[in-house]
Amino acid sequence: MSKTRLDLQTFLETLKGDRKVYFQPPASKKMDYPAIVYKLSNINNTHADNLPYLQGTAYQVCYITKNPDDIMIKTLSKLPLCTFDRHFVTDNLNHYFYTLYY
């Protein structure tokens, strides 16, 4: 059975230890930090006989924190099928972006 986005939501909440995990939050949503924000970024199909037989679903995961030494930064980077993409700071918040296949 294939994993769903809701499975990923539960996994990230468990990993973080709280419910500050948001899927595509609207701009009007007030978030508490540190938080994880994620969205679908790619579906990669592997084909055989011109039909997809394997699908990999990639999510862009952003960890937002005031603490540049937060342990969660490395915890996320150690997940299987996860790569660190970039970092930037805005409004005194550190944003760490990852690509996670789940």
Q: How far apart are CA 91 and CA 69, in angstroms?
A: 17
What is the b/e burial string over 26-50, where b = at least 16 CB atoms within 10 angstroms of the residue's CB? Answer: eeeeeeeebbbbbeeeeeeeeeeee
- The model's pLDDT over 23-35, given as tens digits with 9 standing for 90+, comes to 988 888 889 999 9
- The model's pLDDT over 45-88, given as tens digits with 9 standing for 90+, comes to 999 998 988 888 999 999 999 999 999 999 999 999 999 999 99
CATH of the domain at 59: 3.30.2000.30
**Neighbouring residues of 46: CB distance < 8 A, sequence distance ≥ 6:** 52, 53, 54, 55, 56
Q: What is the mean pLDDT of the chain?
A: 94
Half-sphere exposure (Cβ direction) of 89: Cα atoms closer than 13 Å: 4
Domain span at residue 89 reads 5-101
Residue with tokens 């972006």: 97
Number of domains in the chain: 1
> Residue 25 carries which side chain, given as an amino acid letter?
P
> pTM for the whole thing?
0.89
